[in-house]
Amino acid sequence: MSDRQTIPSSLAASPVIAIVRGGAGEHLLSACEALLDRGIVHLEITTNTPGWERAVTELAAREAAVIGVGTVLTAEHVARAAVAGASFVVAPNTDARVGAAAAAAGLGWYPGAFTPTEIALAWELGATAVKVFPAAQAGGPAFLSAVRAPLPHVLLVPTGGIGADDARAYLDRGAVAVGLGSPLLGDALDGGSLDDLRARADAVLLAVSGG
């Protein structure tokens, strides 16, 4: 595997990755802009979200934004993400071919893994950080702590079933960031209230800050 990409320093200041998935595409940009405005600067827009390439291209031009592409299952997805201007790619699984393509394109790679064996393999294949997925079903913060005991060198980003109430607990157990999807986005991609989205974003950032 080629050189491992480094975790962006911005994650230390704002260790939240918003997972933007679904909708018809009509409200994609406005929802993403609302998150950026509230200080959630790491956005993962998935390949099964209509209009994802156009949104990545537009948002990646924002100075403070760190835009990635999720549900990246093939080397072709990696190539399209790179052309769109993404900084990183995320997958629900670990595929060495996707990792090699990401490394060749200079993109961060966050492959999904569930068991300690899968997590260790993803790291050996060159993951920037390993996406522990689905984190809540794996055992939540306690599982993360148990995994890190024998694998303290592996950077972990738990994702799946995480909300504002427990995001801080994952960070306290050693996660470098947490990924939040529907508990954060709610119905914003379907035309739901952007004010409510901003309020959820504020609550998440307050929670992860320990406030």
Out of 44, 63, 76, 124, the active site residue is 44
How many of the other CB atoms lie within 10 Å of CB of 104?
13
Please give the distance of CA 131 from its chain centroid, rounded to a whole number: 8
Is 58 a known active-site residue? no
Report how far residue 82's alpha carbon sits from residue 96's, in angstroms, rounded to the nearest whole number.
Answer: 17
How many of the other CB atoms lie within 10 Å of CB of 6?
10
Q: Which helix (DSSP H) or strand (DSSP E) does residue 199 occupy?
A: helix 194-208
Contact 147, 119 (CB under 8 A): yes
Listing from the earlier edge strand, what are the strands of the sheet with 88-90?
A: 108-110, 88-90, 66-70, 42-46, 16-20, 178-180
Is 131 a known active-site residue? yes
Residues with a catalytic annotation lie at 44, 131
